[in-house]
Chain A
Amino acid sequence: GAGVSQSPSNKVTEKGKDVELRCDPISGHTALYWYRQSLGQGLEFLIYFQGNSAPDKSGLPSDRFSAERTGGSVSTLTIQRTQQEDSAVYLCASSPSGGEAKNIQYFGAGTRLSVL
C-alpha cells in the first residue's frame, strides 16, 4: 500500500513569508508525527497527533509554528513569518493504533524547506 506522502518535496521561500507543508499518513494510521531535520540540531520532534486527543505540541520551537490534522488524516504544518533558521527537512511519520506496531513510526520522504 501507499506510504506516508509529503508535499511539496521542496519549497523555497523568502524570509518573512508563510509556508504550509502537507502530510498524508498511511491509511488507517491514527498517530501522526512531525520532525525537523537540520544540520545543526539533527532530528527533532515537533508535534504528535493521536486520534481525537489533544496534540502534544511540546516540540514546536516557537509560536510561529502550528499544525493541524483534519478528520484524523491529513496534517498541515504551518510556519509563519519564516526565518532562515527554519531551513531544514521536515519529516512526517505515522503509526497504527494497536499492538506492537503502534510503537513503529513510518516516515515520509520529507519536505526540504529553504528560506532565503
Chain B
Amino acid sequence: AQSVTQLDSQVPVFEEAPVELRCNYSSSVSVYLFWYVQYPNQGLQLLLKYLSGSTLVKGINGFEAEFNKSQTSFHLRKPSVHISDTAEYFCAVSAVSNDYKLSFGAGTTVTVRA
C-alpha cells in the first residue's frame, strides 16, 4: 500500500512571493505521483504528474515539482504566486503496477494575500 504525507496543512503567502508545498510518500513499489488543486466548491484539477523520465516536471499555471526518489519526496513549487492560486492542493500517489487507486495526502491550504 502507498501513503502520502503533506507536511504543511496551511501555507499563507504574499502575492508575488514564492511558495513550496512539501509532499513525502511511502511505498514498497514504484509509483506515479500527482499534484491536484481544488478551488472552492469545485472538483480536483490535475496540476502536474510524474510518470517517468525527467524528475523535474512542469505543470499548469507556472507550477513545477521535482521527484526525489532517494528522499521519497515530490515537492511542489511556484516562483511567484497570484491571488488566484488560493486553493487546496493535494499530493497523490498510485502504484505503477496494475492498480490505479490514488492515495491522497491530507491537503495543503494555500492562502495568497495582497
Contact = CB atoms under 8 A, between A and B. Distances in A.
Is A bound to B? yes
Interface of A: 4, 6, 31, 33, 35, 42-43, 45, 48, 56, 59, 91, 93, 95, 100, 102-110
Nearest to A100: B51
A93 B45 CA distance: 11
Interface of B, secondary structure class, is strand
B57 interface: no
The bracket for how many chain B residues form the interface is: 20 to 34
Q: Main secondary structure on chain A at its contact with chain B?
A: strand
Most buried by B among A6, A48, A103, A110: A103
Point out which of A31, A42, A102, A110 has the most chain B C-beta atoms below 10 A from its C-beta: A42
A103 B100 CA distance: 7
B103 A103 contact: no
B32 interface: yes
Contacts, number: 51
B106 interface: yes
Most buried by A among B51, B52, B100, B104: B100
B44 A107 contact: yes
Ordered nearest first, which 10 A-B pairs have the shortest CB separation? A43-B104, A107-B44, A109-B43, A107-B43, A45-B101, A42-B106, A108-B43, A103-B32, A110-B43, A100-B51
Interface of B: 32, 34, 36, 41-46, 49, 51-52, 90, 92, 94, 100-107
Nearest to B49: A104
Contact of B104 (A42, A48, A106): A42
Nearest to A89: B43
